[in-house]
Amino acid sequence: MLLGFLRQPEAKAFLTFVLSLIILFLSANAILISTCIWTWLSSNIVYFVPYFIIVIVLMRWFARGGQYLDVHKLNLDGQTFLVTGAASGIGKETAIELAKRGARVIIFARPTNLTDAINNVKKFSRSPNNIIGYPLDLADLRSIKACVEKFMKNENENTKIAALINNAGVMACPYAQTKDGFELQMGTNHFGHFYFTQLLLRRLRSSRIVNVSSAAHFMWAVPCDALHYAQMCDPNTYHPFSAYSLSKTANILFTRELQRRYGVSHNIRAYSLHPGTVNTLLDRYFNLSDFIRKLLKPIRYVIFKTPLEGAQTTLYCALSNEARPAEYHADCQPTPVYHKYAKDDKIAREWWDYSEKIINEKIKDI
């Protein structure tokens, strides 16, 4: 697990910074002659600026992680992509990159964000009419069903969908429930996308399905099952990061079982991925003071990926022939998951069955 963490771009960037400080102090003999530190600093100040510029450039180079360079060679004219959560962050940049290359992009976002999301992507498309959207609230099964029904009615049955990109999500929020009584993070990140994907399945033959997970799945290394989900649903045992972690494990298991069940019959190729630690609004629920946020802001710009950099592995999974179906990816390459329960096919089957059961109980009256 530690080795996996050290492979992360943000860890490499941080270690570069630490190493630069060690080199600086060793050069000044700071360890042996501490009284000479300030004298040495004042006499060598002219070297510090270029030194730290080089350090920051190196940190940014490490932080950006793997890049899907082949995307710049692609022409996506005539191909249709579905993207959830495209109003901001990684989803927005994913939709823009697809639109730039001529793709028809269908955006799914909350009703309050949908118009702005469509207009933001249209600016980058050669054919603005190729960018459309549907209102979708993944925390509401009724909204999901209505959205898919509208999509099915409006979209030609012969339209080939190149990829469904399940990008939307919430992170580390205070305890809350969806409109259907699910814990909010699992309800949005997993159950919502699970139901949405199932309703779309008959239109997804020979399509890719990309599920945005996270390396944070390692934070609560337990089986994704009814017992641990029940702990998430109890306000007395709820922890924001544990709940987020389990929902991201659920994304990985969903991907594995989706490939097993429909890889042959529907010719589906399903992928999960870690986008990296990205400088987005996903951490808006973190309990940090304004002072701490301002203090961390320049650090975030150096160590974290930009949303565009964070979208690279999503694009890789949606477009590259080198991506591996059923597998987990990071930095534009297949990557091992960080705990055994995230790659257990028995747990994946049982979690799928449980997800179907609990959703079916909720939709009886819809």
- Domains delineated in the chain: 2-63 (no CATH), 69-365 (3.40.50.720)
Q: Is the Cβ–Cβ distance between 60 and 88 less than 8 Å?
A: no
Q: Which residues of 220-249 are buried (b: 16+ CB within 10 A; e: fewer)?
A: beebbeeebbebbbeeeebebebbbbbbbb
String of DSSP letters for 246-280: HHHHHHHHHHHHHHHHHTTTS--EEEEEE--SB-S
Is 244 marked active-site?
Answer: yes
Nearest to 317 by CA among 304, 301, 334: 334
Mean pLDDT of 216-239: 90
| The pLDDT of residue 54 | 74
Query: Mean of the per-residue pLDDT values for the chain?
Result: 88
pLDDT at 13: 61
Q: Tokens at residue 311, please?
A: 């979208």
Q: 193, 171, 178, 248: which is closest to 82 by C-alpha? A: 193
Least confident interval from 55-59, 184-188, 217-221, 253-257 = 55-59
Question: Residues 100-157: pLDDT tens digits?
Answer: 999 999 999 999 999 999 999 999 999 999 999 999 999 999 999 999 999 999 999 9
Question: Can you tell me whether residue 213 is helix, strand or coil?
Answer: coil
The whole-angstrom separation of Cα 206 and Cα 268 is: 5
pLDDT at 181: 96
What is the pLDDT, as a whole number, of residue 32? 45
Collapsing DSSP to helix, strand or coil, 311 comes out as coil
| Per-residue confidence band for 39, with pLDDT thresholds at 50, 70 and 90 | low
Which of 47-60 are b and which e, b meaning 16 or more Cβ less than 10 Å from the residue's Cβ? eeeeeeeebbebbb
DSSP 127-170: SGGGEEEEE--TT-HHHHHHHHHHHHHHS-TT--EEEEEE----
Half-sphere exposure of 218 (CA within 13 A, CB side): 11
244, 262, 338, 341: the catalytic one is: 244
Q: How many residues does the chain have?
A: 366
Tell me, what's the pLDDT at 31? 45
Q: Is 321 helix (H, G, I), strand (E, B) or coil?
A: coil
pTM, whole model, 2 decimals?
A: 0.88
